Structure 1
Amino acid sequence: MAQFGAETTTEDVLAGIDLTGKRVLVTGVSAGLGIETARAAAAHGAQVIGTARDLGKAATALAEHSELGIEVLECDLASLASVRGCADALLGRDEAFDVIIANAGVMNCPFGHTADGFETQFGTNHLGHFVLVNRLAPRLRPGGRVVIVSSSAHQFADVDLDDPGFEKTDYDPMVAYGRSKTANILFAVELDRRLRGRGICATALHPGGIMTELMRHTTPEMLQDMAAKAAGNAGARVKVKTVPQGAATSVWAAFVAPAEAIGGRYLVDCQVAEVASGREGVQAYAFDPERAKALWARSEEMVRERFPEA
């Protein structure tokens, strides 16, 4: 297997690979990593369906790739009605998926709420994808994969199952983002356990530091603070990737990496990251299987929908 790293691009990952016959869903195809992830898969033959909150914005963003035939459906992850509507539309087609890439998200937002009253970052980054992926999971083919884009920012905070909406604690945008990114990893851990019997794997990943629209609420001071906290070093600086480099790990996880190596794991730079209690690697609390089950139960309670084990 080829050795990839931090500077690997999507085209490096997919060199010589034909994805004809693969059907792929990518959330968040109106900017940044979502566009590149969808483009790379479609350019190598996959049938790609993207989702976006703003269809007009997505159409403009994908205009230069019109020849690839990427279809876009409306899905606002901050509205469960929109999420369920999108899932119903896809289920109504009675077509299977090979890969679902949960890429969309928000970051470091001012305090606010989704349409359903959830704290914006937890509601969008975790609960929206929780409902969408679970509703579509029965349509994943054996050997399929779910790839969830998390972040090294999970190091900032574990999930708070007693106070997910910051009703008892002061709101901090980076802590809220960290909670949502930890939730992404825990979701992958439990989802992988539930789907493994069907030959399907789920994994989470850190794409790297990329200057995309996701950073619109992140000031230079916040960015520096994030880098320092992630490295445990006040003088640390963010290492910035290009968009094709940032999307490479998603593409690697979706189409190239051995399923048995990545299932229920956390990936960085097209590699499986080691679990560690310090600032390097992935935090141990994000891999606690009992914590993952507890988050699943709390998430079902919040969205008022149950998803039985496969």
Structure 2
Amino acid sequence: MTQFNAKSTTDDVLTGVDLSGQRFLVTGVSAGLGVETARALAAHGADVVGAARDLTKAEGATGAVRDAAKAGGGSFELIQLDLASLASVRAAADALNADGRQFDVVIANAGVMAAPFGKTEDGFETQFGTNHLGHFTFVNRIASLIKDGGRFVSLASSGHRFSDVNLEDPNFDNGDYEPWAAYGRSKTANILFAVEFDRRHKARGVRATALHPGGIHTELARHLDDGAIEALLEQINATAREAGGEEFEFKSIPQGAATSVWAAAVADPAEVGGRYLEDCHVAELADDDGLRAGVRAYAIDPDNAKALWAKSEEMVGERF
């Protein structure tokens, strides 16, 4: 099997891959990685359903996806999904279930990063509510639409290294809010969700995986000023220098989306199921400090994953 790396792009990863007849769902297709993921899949013949909060913005952002679908024999359609509203999440899932067409792969790509303190429509802390609970409810509600032998791909981040989940106080009701800690919690939750989803569905051949796309200049950083980004990069690079490692490099958007399409359409499901990926490979366990390669043990701990699942069900008021 070809070995890909941090520099590989979506087109590198999908070279020679025919996705005709396969159906994919990608959330967050109004910018950045979501648009590129949808474009790459459609270009190789896939039928892609893109979900976005703002359909007008998504329409404007996905012209290249439609062009790729036309040229590659795939198709592309949009659905409305606001992950910060359980009413919107449930309506979107209900519509897909009523339609009844199955998916080979669901990619939970949408998210917010380092947002100022706020609450979702349902009263959850913004990042945990949007990044985790919105996807948790949406994906579980359409789980029966994922074909036997299909896949679920959850976009997490090396930001999971900032913090484990806090199941005692998920909404920061009793503590000072810190944007990066909240982001870390939500990204750890994205990984743990994949771990437990994989355990629950692998008997029918459905495998779930989580991944870090890499550091990319996208709209995800809209809540940060340039100074905050530079300070974070300096902190990351100082830690890397101390450890004798390589300094951080931004990826292009096609490089950033490469691990998503690799996980969705190329990687061996038995190798990536229940695991955390980066740079188109399975990440090593790494509990040292700093924002670097590797996955922290708490993020792939099966008991932690089960506890998060139970807490999430309690928070959204549904059992899956």
| TM-score clears 0.5 | yes
Q: How far apart, CA to CA, are the structure 1 residues paired with 2:153 and 2:54?
A: 22
Q: Structure 1 residue aligned with 2:181, among 175, 185, 207?
A: 175
CA offset digits 1:27-64 (Å, max 9, x no partner): 00000000000010011000000000000000000123
Moved more, 54-63 or 225-234: 225-234
Larger deviation: 75-84 or 279-288?
279-288
Partner of 1:57: 57
Give the residue type in structure 2 aligned to 1:180.
Answer: S
Aligned-partner SS, 2:107 = strand
| Aligned equivalent of 1:48 | 48
Asked if structure 1 preserves the Cα contact closer than 8 Å seen for 2:211 and 2:259, the reply is: yes
> Which residue of structure 2 lines up, in the alignment, with residue 271 of structure 1?
281
| SS state at 1:125 partner | helix
Equivalence for 2:295: 282
| TM-aligned CA distance change 1:64 to 1:277, over 3 Å | closer
How is 1:105-144 mapped onto 2 (pairs within 5 angstroms)? 105-144=111-150
Cα drift, residue 231 of structure 1: 6.2
Tell me which amino acid in the other structure corresponds to 1:3: Q
Deviations 1:267-287 (A, max 9, x none): 000010011221441001111
More off after superposition, 191-200 vs 56-65: 56-65
The answer to whether residue 265 in structure 2 is matched with residue 255 in structure 1 is yes
Cα deviation digits, residues 62-93 of structure 1 (max 9, x gap): 12332323101000000000011000111111
Is 2:98 the partner of 1:92? yes
The amino acid across from 1:122 in the alignment is F
Further displaced range: 56-65 or 224-233: 224-233
- Give the equivalent residue in structure 2 for 1:197: 203
- Asked whether 1:242 is paired with 2:255, we answer no
Q: Distance in 2 between matches of 1:130 and 1:275?
A: 25
- 3-state DSSP of counterpart to 2:62: helix
Instruction: Report if the CA contact (8 A) 1:267-1:273 is conserved.
Output: yes
Aligned with 2:149: secondary structure?
strand
Matched position secondary structure for 2:169: coil
Shift of 1:239: 1.3
Q: Does the aligned pair in 1 maintain the 2:93–2:142 contact within 8 Å?
A: yes
Kept after mapping to 2: 8 A contact 1:228/1:237:
no
What TM-score does the superposition give when structure 1 sets the normalisation length?
0.96
For residues 242-276 of structure 1, the C-alpha deviation after alignment (integer angstroms, 9 at most, x for no partner) is 00000000000000000011000000000100112
Paired residue secondary structure (2:255): helix
Cα deviation, 1:193-214, whole Å, max 9, x if unaligned, reads 0011110100000000000011
Alignment of 1:208-223 (within 5 A): 208-223=214-229
TM norm structure 2: 0.93
Q: Is the 8 A contact 1:224 1:237 kept in 2?
A: no
Q: Are the equivalent residues in 2 in contact too, given 1:32–1:212 (CA < 8 A)?
A: yes
Match of 1:16 in 2: 16
Q: Name the residue aligned to 1:305.
A: 318
Q: 1:14 to 1:91 in 2, by over 3 A?
A: same
How many angstroms apart in 1 are the aligned matches of 2:190 and 2:66?
A: 31
Does the CA contact (< 8 Å) of 2:42 and 2:65 recur in 1? no
Which is worse superposed, 63-72 or 285-294? 63-72
Does the Cα contact within 8 Å between 1:153 and 1:230 map onto a contact in 2? Answer: no
- Cα distance in structure 1, aligned partners of 2:64 and 2:43: 12
Deviation per CA, 1:189-242: give whole Å up to 9, x if none.
Answer: 101000111101000000000000111112333324444565671868541000
CA–CA distance in 1 between the matches of 2:169 and 2:226?
29
- Give 1:15 shift: 0.4
SS at match of 1:4: coil
- Alpha-carbon RMSD: 1.4
The 8 Å contact of residues 236 and 248 in structure 2, kept in 1 or not, is answered as: no
The count of residues paired between Structure 1 and Structure 2 equals 307
